[in-house]
Amino acid sequence: MASGRLFLAAVAFAPLAWRAGSRPRRWPGFLALGAVQFGLMYGLYIASFTYLPAWQVALFTVFTPVYVVLLADGRARRLDPRHWAAAALAVGGALLAVRFGQAEGFSWRGFFLLQGANLSFAVGQLLYPWLRRRERLADGPLMAWMYAGAFLVTALVVLLRGGPDGAGWGAAPLVTLLYLGLIPTAVGFYLWNRGAAEVAAGPLAVANNLKIPLAVVVSWLVFREDASWVRASLGLVLVVAGLFLVRRAPQR
């Protein structure tokens, strides 16, 4: 599924790839960035489900803001207390919103696979603005090559596991794949990286966890799933407080 989603994203953005310039020496860097941020992230994320129940996967994705702040402050060679406070609020808010299951089923292997996915996504969203500025590229051409690199990684994983399994692919799964590949993947990651290039590391770190309490609220309001709206609302308040904290931080 991940390989199919990234294939569709790569195809959707392929017409923009050649606007990245005629110098082939630039392309490997674009491919590598996509391979890490999307390809490696997806591969490790999906592999974690082999060792962890779904609720633990949701739980352990909340640490991405910590990696964003750690990498950003490490690159800047300084420690920004506001960044770390905002990241703590984001992690705390997401943890508050996550619905915990039974304690059994924990696996350190699954945990570290998921942290590898979190770190891969954090590395990509921090390197993207730097690469875009260095190459003086628009977002579309750069993302086209990144999606291609991501697809190559996931396609290699599929081949190493014996090739794609076409069984059970009717009309409904194909429509679902088209939606997931073109909207959340192609458009969603494009907008995310474009936004990442416009904000500082603090707000970017916190924004990584906005999806968790929001997803709980949507599942409760739209799909009428059993969820604690109090926990989700309080979690959202904490994450937004983290955004407010770094939003008011002085620009450097």
> Following DSSP, what letter does each residue of 53-118 receive, concatenated?
-HHHHHHHGGGHHHHHHHHHHHHHTS--HHHHHHHHHHHHHHHHHSPP--STT--HHHHHHHHHHH
pLDDT at 250: 45
Query: Could you tell me if residue 155 is inside a domain?
Result: yes
Residue 245: what pLDDT?
A: 80
Number of separate domains in the chain? 1
Given this model, what pLDDT does residue 220 score? 63
Residue 99 maps to a domain: yes
* Whole-number Cα distances in Å, 193 to 137, 208, 237: 13, 12, 24
Element (H, E) at 249: none
Domain that residue 134 falls in = 2-247
- Provide the pLDDT for residue 251: 43
Q: Is residue 226 part of a domain?
A: yes
Helix/strand/coil (H/E/C) assignment for every residue in 25-66: HHHHHHHHHHHHHHHHHHHHHHHHCCCCCHHHHHHHHHHHHH
Is 252 inside any structural domain? no
User: Is the distance from CB of 65 to CB of 29 less than 8 angstroms?
Assistant: no
**Cβ within 8 Å of residue 74, ≥6 positions away:** none
Cα 29 to Cα 26: distance, rounded to the nearest angstrom: 6
CA nearest neighbour of 141 among 190, 178, 183, 179: 190
Q: How far does CA 55 lie from the centroid of its chain?
A: 17
Q: What is the mean pLDDT of each run of 10 residues along the chain (252 residues)?
A: 92 87 77 97 93 82 90 86 85 75 73 95 95 89 95 92 70 90 96 94 88 69 62 78 71 42
Residue 74 carries which side chain, given as an amino acid letter? G
Instruction: List helix spans (H) across 107-200.
Output: 108-135, 139-160, 171-180, 188-196
Q: What is the pTM of this model?
A: 0.85
Whole-number pLDDT of residue 88: 87
